[in-house]
Amino acid sequence: DVQASRVFVDCCRFSRLAGTPAPEAIAEMLNVYFDAITTATTFYRGTIDKYMGDCAMIVFGVPEKDDEHLFHGLCCAVMIQRMVERLNEFRRARGHTTVEFRIGINSGAMLAGNLGSRDRMQYTVVGDAVNLASRLSNMAGAGEIIAASAIMEDPNIGSRVRATEYGAMRVRGRQEPVGTFRVDGVHALSETLMEQRIAQFLAEISAEADRESS
């Protein structure tokens, strides 16, 4: 087992502003948001485990060792939601379809390695900590990040994250409910660096849109 952090990003709501978009338009739109998710993941040294439909699964701490994997995972989650907010403003102004995401994050012991059949192997992480991250994303509302309270009790994390107690969740196989927090932000310096990268990303998106319309 390795200590790592897992972030589940799940698309939970489409806003159709200009009728019902064609499947090709949905795929093109999701790719724009996935570009934002990939940008945030790379910025915080994470790895996209996989995209599955309209869900992204991200891991921190493996395969690249990172002693700050939990904080980087939390920063990445915040950055994704901030990027989605700004991207939605950009797209709404142009009458384009927008989406919102819900995010769950957890950290702990995970089994990491190449799993699958002899014909198809894939590097991934599995375990109770991974499953809980998925359940936390299902608990979150649109635009929210939900984390297990145990990770917020780490003094190295709690002092650098702004969070609000969210409630308890019953989890199959556990006698006691799991406490949760809604993550609202991280400390100011990290948010400043984050905003600079978001502005750069949006400038690139805007320049590309201008080229396509000219």
- What DSSP line would sit under 100-116, residue for residue? EEEEEEEEEEEEEEEEE
Residue with tokens 């780490």: 154
Reported confidence tier of residue 16, pLDDT bands at 50, 70, 90: low
For the chain, give the percent of residues with pLDDT over 70: 89
User: Mean pLDDT over residues 129-144, rounded?
Assistant: 90
pLDDT value, residue 28: 83
**pLDDT at position 147 over 50:** yes
Residue with tokens 């994390």: 157
Reported confidence tier of residue 17, pLDDT bands at 50, 70, 90: very low
pLDDT tens digits along 50-96: 888 788 999 999 888 999 999 999 999 999 999 999 999 999 998 88
**pLDDT at position 13 over 80:** no
Tokens (6 digits) for 132: 């809980």
Tokens (6 digits) for 137: 């994303």
Instruction: Report the distance separating Cα 42 and Cα 66, nearest Å.
Output: 13
pTM for the predicted model, two decimal places:
0.90
The identity of residue 152, as a single letter, is M
**pLDDT at position 122 over 70:** no
Contact between 114 and 121 (Cβ < 8 Å): yes
Nearest partner of 68 among 131, 151, 191, judged by Cα: 151
